[in-house]
Copies of this chain bind each other. A is one copy, B any other.
């Protein structure tokens, strides 16, 4: 399941993607438009900025805007930024790999192999969902 943070991030990105080119959106505007708690959204937008999905203009008349094409922002990326690994266990993860401490036996290898299959399919599916694909309902 997605965390609220990831869900809010997607909704915020959708909101930004629906605005006119060159429009700068204030946090409060996004918060009201997408129904997200404002102070929580502040943190999320900063995370999105650190992840290079959006950029900001500070000060009066400042706000946020997309810097990555809505065709190139995928669900997979947002999941990784806010909720971490897409794989079901760290030992099956590409970007968050860790060996499993309790997996030394035969059954471990088997589990691992199945989870890598799942990861591949889920990842491919998630990479197919972009902000653009969501906007054009």
Which residues of A approach B to under 8 Å, CB–CB?
1-2, 7, 10-11, 14-15, 18, 33-36, 75, 84-85, 87-90, 102-111, 113-114, 117-118, 121-122, 125-126, 128-129, 133-135, 137
Contact = CB atoms under 8 A, between A and B. Distances in A.
Contacts of A105: 33-35
Contacts of A88: 1-2
Contacts of A36: 102
B118 A126 contact: yes
24 contacts: A1-B88, A2-B88, A7-B89, A7-B111, A11-B107, A14-B110, A18-B106, A18-B107, A33-B105, A34-B105, A34-B107, A75-B114, A75-B118, A107-B134, A109-B137, A110-B134, A110-B137, A114-B133, A114-B134, A118-B126, A118-B129, A121-B122, A121-B125, A122-B125
